[in-house]
């Protein structure tokens, strides 16, 4: 792999790497690589035991009327399927040493990747904003004297500080969180199952194909939503880390952690009378442990939300760098952008409607429709066509170097991948004609993945210029 020279100070001792991250979107040279593969497990396990996955997991029971058994089965199936795609993206990090979104220039071209980068940035800003609202409500639930707006600001400031410090601190907090939150959620499960107060805990709801498929989709899309930034947290690992070890550490951490959170949400709402908000149900169902659980989840959402802010900032930097290609920003620029996004999200969240989180979830679901084809193209290009061999210097050039400003094959497959999903969509923002024949089930993401992958492979492997660029990248890597 042909990589740019780094002007950073060499650091042969990974443990001595600075706490405040100095890199942004630039290539991480071998002397700045540090950490262990197991850090990926704790990052994604601890980061997923949080309020938003708990609220999402409760939807299978609350909205789609599944019983406990079928709700759990749907959650597990979705996590296992979606987790494969997410972990395959993570495994790219040590091989490339650059963030996920800027790596997309190798598939779409330096300008062609801009659309996907902007969409990813908007999505993670939406996640950040919805999570600070949840933090504000949690803090108000713990201490009534703290208003929700004040709680929103406190939650945002906590996440902002973690995000500004960056990569290393995020990993440290999640290593601690894995033990604290892991023990906490198992204690919560134990209390609920030994103090069931509802007569219909095991019988409420039932099986319906639309609700089951919808829950599978929500569960899978939770994993796929991490795809645009998952390798941002593996890019500092040493280059000799294997793809398999990176994949499994990420896959197991993320699927186990998020499955526990999803199932906890379903269990909590079944343990209280119907109609109770998911986080209120958690507090009520865990009895005397309720306040402690809310404190744990408050700390979790603040820590986890730093990932959304960090990813959003990298997406903004990548977008700006498209037009200022000589600019590889420093930690100071990352901090300034973090503060700008934080203030804008606080302003929007405080002044928004009471259904702010629900509206943002609807937006994120719509945005995922345009990210699914990107996932298919990125994975096919990395694992099948290029086999991980890229020219990093070209990725940072204004004209895209070997990859050009636009890759027509990728853009054609991308647009078609979006269009084929539209008839199968069923979101609050738009509903296509097909779901009414499937009792409302939304299978658009499956259609997008299944059709975009072979289409892109067929287009890319039949393009003479693209094959020439691939050969040039391989030669550059060998040199």
Helix axes 356-379, 444-461, angle to 10 degrees: 30
DSSP state of 206: B
Mean pLDDT in residue range 463-470: 58
| 271, 281 contact by CB (below 8 A) | yes
Per-residue confidence (pLDDT) for residue 14, from 0 to 100: 41
| 85, 227 contact by CB (below 8 A) | yes
Q: Which residues pair with 206 in a beta bridge?
A: 66
Enumerate residues 6+ apart whose C-beta is below 8 A from 71: 60, 61, 205, 215, 263, 266
Enumerate residues 6+ apart whose C-beta is below 8 A from 192: 267, 268, 271, 285, 286
Per-residue confidence (pLDDT) for residue 157, from 0 to 100: 93
pLDDT in tens, 328-363: 777 788 888 989 999 998 988 887 656 655 665 666
| 364, 127 contact by CB (below 8 A) | yes
Q: Residue 237's Cα: distance from chain center in Å?
A: 19
Please give the domain boundaries of the chain with CATH numbers for all domains.
21-356 (1.10.4160.10)
Instruction: Specify which of 20-34, 356-370, 392-406 reaches the highest per-range mean pLDDT.
Output: 392-406
Closest by alpha carbon to 121, among 306, 316, 305, 310? 316
Under the banding of pLDDT at 50, 70 and 90, the label for residue 469 is low
Closest by alpha carbon to 314, among 102, 474, 9? 102
Under the banding of pLDDT at 50, 70 and 90, the label for residue 13 is very low
pLDDT in tens, 24-72: 777 888 888 878 898 899 989 988 888 888 988 998 998 889 999 999 9
Per-residue confidence (pLDDT) for residue 356, from 0 to 100: 58
| Distance from C-alpha of 47 to C-alpha of 258, rounded to nearest angstrom | 9
Which run of H or of E encompasses 371?
Answer: helix 356-379
Mean pLDDT in residue range 174-186: 87
Per-residue confidence (pLDDT) for residue 293, from 0 to 100: 86
Q: How far, in Å, are 104, 184, 432, 444 from residue 438 at the CA level?
A: 34, 39, 11, 12
pLDDT at 152 over 60: yes
* Residues in the chain, overall count: 479
Dig out the tokens for 32 from the structure. Answer: 């700045």
| Distance from C-alpha of 376 to C-alpha of 285, rounded to nearest angstrom | 41
Closest by alpha carbon to 96, among 234, 226, 229? 234
pLDDT at 189 over 70: yes
Under the banding of pLDDT at 50, 70 and 90, the label for residue 477 is low
pLDDT at 382 over 90: yes
pLDDT at 377 over 50: yes
pLDDT at 260 over 90: yes
Q: Which residues pair with 2 in a beta bridge?
A: 391
Residue 430, helix vs strand vs coil: strand
Mean pLDDT in residue range 130-141: 85
Under the banding of pLDDT at 50, 70 and 90, the label for residue 10 is very low
Higher pLDDT among residues 436 and 216, named by residue: 216
Residue 24, helix vs strand vs coil: coil
pLDDT at 5 over 80: no
Q: Which residues pair with 66 in a beta bridge?
A: 206
| Distance from C-alpha of 106 to C-alpha of 121, rounded to nearest angstrom | 19
Q: How far, in Å, are 7, 44, 337 from residue 317 at the CA level?
A: 19, 24, 8
Per-residue confidence (pLDDT) for residue 359, from 0 to 100: 65
Higher pLDDT among residues 75 and 49, named by residue: 75
DSSP per position, 70-94: HHHHHHHHHHHHHHHHHHHHHTHHH
pLDDT at 124 over 90: no
DSSP state of 9: P
pTM (2 d.p.): 0.86
| 395, 106 contact by CB (below 8 A) | yes
Strands 426-427 and 430-431 come out as antiparallel
| 278, 268 contact by CB (below 8 A) | yes
Under the banding of pLDDT at 50, 70 and 90, the label for residue 19 is low
Interior/surface letters 2-13, b for 16+ CB within 10 angstroms, e for the rest: bbbebeeeeeee
Per-residue confidence (pLDDT) for residue 52, from 0 to 100: 82
Per-residue confidence (pLDDT) for residue 318, from 0 to 100: 86
Per-residue confidence (pLDDT) for residue 454, from 0 to 100: 95
The region of weakest confidence among 164-173, 272-281, 381-390 is 164-173
pLDDT at 233 over 60: yes
Per-residue confidence (pLDDT) for residue 472, from 0 to 100: 58
Per-residue confidence (pLDDT) for residue 12, from 0 to 100: 39
Q: How many CA atoms lie within 13 A of 143 on its CB side?
A: 11
| 234, 98 contact by CB (below 8 A) | no
Closest by alpha carbon to 189, among 317, 304, 49, 316? 49
| Distance from C-alpha of 360 to C-alpha of 353, rounded to nearest angstrom | 11
């Amino acid at each position: 792999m042909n990589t740019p020279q780094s002007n950073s100070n060499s650091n042969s001792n990974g443990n001595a790497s600075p706490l405040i991250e100095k890199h942004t979107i630039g290539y991480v040279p071998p002397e700045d690589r540090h950490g262990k593969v197991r850090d990926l497990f704790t990052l994604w396990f601890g980061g997923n035991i949080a309020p938003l996955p708990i609220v999402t997991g409760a939807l299978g029971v609350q909205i789609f009327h599944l019983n406990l058994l079928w709700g759990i089965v749907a959650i597990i199936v979705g996590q296992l399927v979606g987790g494969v795609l997410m972990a395959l993206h993570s495994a790219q990090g040590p091989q490339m040493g650059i963030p996920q979104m800027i790596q997309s220039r190798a598939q779409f071209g330096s300008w062609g990747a801009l659309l996907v980068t902007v969409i990813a940035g908007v999505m993670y800003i939406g996640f950040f904003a919805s999570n600070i609202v949840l933090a504000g409500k949690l803090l108000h639930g713990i201490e009534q004297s703290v208003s929700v707006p004040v709680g929103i600001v406190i939650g945002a400031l906590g996440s902002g500080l973690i995000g500004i410090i960056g990569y290393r601190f995020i990993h440290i907090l999640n290593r601690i969180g894995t033990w604290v939150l892991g023990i906490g959620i198992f204690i919560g499960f134990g209390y609920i199952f030994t103090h069931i107060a509802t007569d219909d805990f095991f019988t409420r709801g039932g099986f319906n194909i639309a609700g089951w498929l919808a829950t599978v989709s929500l569960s899978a899309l939770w994993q796929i939503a991490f795809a645009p930034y998952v390798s941002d947290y593996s890019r500092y690992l040493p280059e000799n880390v294997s793809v398999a070890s990176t994949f499994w550490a990420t896959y197991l951490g993320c699927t186990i952690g998020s499955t526990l959170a999803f199932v906890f949400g379903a269990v909590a709402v079944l343990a209280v009378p119907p109609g109770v908000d998911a986080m209120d149900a958690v507090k009520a169902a865990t009895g005397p442990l309720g306040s402690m659980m809310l404190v744990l989840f408050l700390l979790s959402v603040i820590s986890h939300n730093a990932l959304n802010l960090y990813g959003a900032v990298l997406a903004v930097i990548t977008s700006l760098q498209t037009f200022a290609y000589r600019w590889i920003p420093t930690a100071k620029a990352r901090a300034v952008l973090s503060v700008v996004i934080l203030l804008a999200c606080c302003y929007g969240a405080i002044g928004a409607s009471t259904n702010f989180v629900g509206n943002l979830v609807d937006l994120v679901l719509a945005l995922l429709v345009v990210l699914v084809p990107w996932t298919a193209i990125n994975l096919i290009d990395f694992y099948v066509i290029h086999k991980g061999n890229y020219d990093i210097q070209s990725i940072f050039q204004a004209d895209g170097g070997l990859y050009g400003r636009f890759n027509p094959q990728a853009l054609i497959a991308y647009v078609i991948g979006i269009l084929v999903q539209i008839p199968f969509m069923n979101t609050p923002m738009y509903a296509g004609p097909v779901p009414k024949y499937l009792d409302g089930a939304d299978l658009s993401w499956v259609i997008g993945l299944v059709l975009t992958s072979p289409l892109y492979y067929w287009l890319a492997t039949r393009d003479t210029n693209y094959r020439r660029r691939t050969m040039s990248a391989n030669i550059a890597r060998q040199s």
